[in-house]
Amino acid sequence: MGDTLMTTPALELLKKSMPDCEITFFTFSSPSHQIMLNNPHIDRLWYYPLKVIHFLKGSVHVISRFSFRFDTCINFYPSNRTAYNLFSFLTGTKKRIGHTYVKKNFSQLNWLKNMTIPEDIKLHCVEENVRLLKFFDINPDMKNIPPTKIYLTDEEKKAGGVFKQSLPRCPTVGIHTGTSTFKNQDKRRWPRESFVRMIDLLPEIHFVLFGSLDEIGINNHIKACVKNPSRVTIVENKTIREVAAITGTLDAFVSNDSGLMHIAAAMNTPVVAILGPTNPAFIHPWGVRHTIARLELPCSPCFFYSPKPLTCSQNNSFKCIHGLEPATVADAVRNVLQQ
């Protein structure tokens, strides 16, 4: 979801610069499809679970439905995956745009693209996507790139407001305790006990816990262990768009490196981002007031955009995330609220 959201500034600039172009946006996951609904800068939105369905069946679908229908195919950043590059190639477009990558570039078939720029590990994902617009002779001001955006309906916004009214009248802060589990990325999670201690350090705040089905246990544990469970509300059985609507009403959001962190940023909610092995330059909350809570260790950051699962070179300790003190994050929350 986060990677998808970080394409929205480039899409906005592309459509505004070339209003007559027709943009079809493909997603391979249902949550990514949901957050792109109603985006005014795309003309068609397609969802097809290519990574889940047998690749041969998926390839037949791509060839039969989409081949030779487009002038250009853009693999937005990061797309260092064989499935994405094969999809681009099977569309039969003459111009296949994207990046070359520092890690695992050849093995992930990035050579199937024929118009590329090199990955710059000092740049944010949003900036990397905007750089691709050079192939359309578009040269936007890199210091004034738009924020990421989710386009909610009035009814969705109203429902988020109704939820907010059900909460106590005090500062309200969202928390996402989870992350993706893909490629060992659950190792980026701050320990649940650290969240408990942070909440206890901020008795003046009401916390709203978000998470997927596999994170319900973590959230229930946190609520059961804090000194005052009445200060914690757990959000369950909500769609991604409903979660976005609720997030947009909160005073701040605390999150690991996750899609919900980027949803909060897209809803213009100030963010405290808890980062361990991830490079903040890649994925810090874009276009919104934020604070990065992390340890400046010599070995960190170590996470690159490649299919290689996340590992820790320091005896698998992941000290970069486990060693972050709750008081440090609590101070960051207070600072964001005071700003």
Is 119 in the same domain as 204? no
Looking at residues 204-221, what average pLDDT do you find? 91
Answer yes or no: is pLDDT of 243 > 70: yes
Mean pLDDT of the chain: 91
Tell me phi and psi for residue 255, to 5 degrees.
-155, 150
Does residue 141 sit within a domain? no
Q: Distance (Å, rounded) from C-alpha 12 to C-alpha 224?
A: 44
Are 122 and 163 members of one domain? no
100 occurs within a structural domain: yes
195 and 95 belong to one structural domain? no
Q: For residue 44, give the DSSP letter.
A: E
Give φ, ψ of 318 to 5 degrees: 50, 45
> Domain check: are 176 and 103 in the same one?
no
C-beta separation of 173 from 201 below 8 A = no
Confidence label for 113 from pLDDT (cuts 50, 70 and 90):
very high
Q: Tell me what percent of the residues of the chain surpass a pLDDT of 70.
A: 96
Identify whether residues 19 and 131 lie together within a single domain. yes
Q: Please indicate, yes or no, whether residues 164 and 222 belong to a single structural domain of this protein.
A: yes
- Are 49 and 118 contained in the same domain? yes
What pLDDT, on the 0 to 100 scale, is given for residue 306?
Answer: 66
Q: Determine the Cα–Cα distance for residues 203 and 327; give it in Å rounded to an integer.
A: 13
Q: In what helix (H) or strand (E) does residue 292 lie, and over which residues does it extend?
A: strand 290-293
The answer to the question of residue 28 being in a domain is: yes
Q: Cα(220)–Cα(212) distance, rounded to whole angstroms?
A: 12
Q: What is the model's pLDDT at position 42?
A: 96
Q: What percent of the chain has pLDDT over 90?
A: 68
**H or E stretch at 260:** helix 259-266
**Lowest mean pLDDT, pick from 61-65, 238-242, 249-253:** 61-65
Specify whether 111 is located in the same domain as 163.
no
Query: CA 47, CA 99: separation in Å to the nearest integer?
Result: 23
Peptide linkage before 301 cis (omega within 30 of 0): yes
- Cα(94)–Cα(89) distance, integer angstroms: 9
Give rounded-to-5 percent helix, strand, coil for the chain: 40, 15, 45
Is residue 148, in this structure, part of any structural domain at all? no
In-domain check, residue 152 = no
Residue 77 · residue 128 · CB < 8 Å: yes
pTM, two decimals, is 0.92
d(CA 92, CA 19): 24
Distance CA 126, CA 283 (A): 8
Omega into 9 within 30° of 0, i.e. cis? no
The whole domain housing 69 covers: 2-136
Provide the pLDDT confidence category of residue 82 given band limits of 50, 70 and 90. confident
- Which two three-digit tokens encode residue 53? 């369905």
Residues in contact with 64: Cβ distance below 8 Å, sequence separation at least 6, in sequence order: none
Q: Are 265 and 174 in contact (CB under 8 A)?
A: no
Structural domain includes residue 26: yes
What digits encode the pLDDT tens for the residues 293-303? Answer: 998 888 787 77
What are 317's two structure tokens? 């300790």
Residue 16 and residue 111 in one domain = yes
pLDDT, one tens digit per residue, over 274-293 is 998 888 888 999 999 999 99
Whether residues 109 and 161 fall in one domain: no
Q: What is the CATH number of the domain that holds 19?
A: 3.40.50.2000
The number of folded domains in the chain is 2
**pLDDT (tens digit per residue) in 297-338:** 887 877 776 667 777 777 777 888 889 999 999 999 999 999
How confident is the model at residue 278, as a pLDDT?
83
pLDDT, tens only, 22-57: 999 998 889 999 999 999 999 999 988 876 667 677
Of 336, 338, 323, 329, nearest to 293 by C-alpha is 329
126 and 225 inside one domain: no
Residues 217 and 267 in one domain: yes
Secondary structure (3-state) at 274:
strand
| CB-CB contact of 34 with 241 (8 Å) | yes
Q: What are phi and psi of 225, to 5 degrees?
A: -100, -15
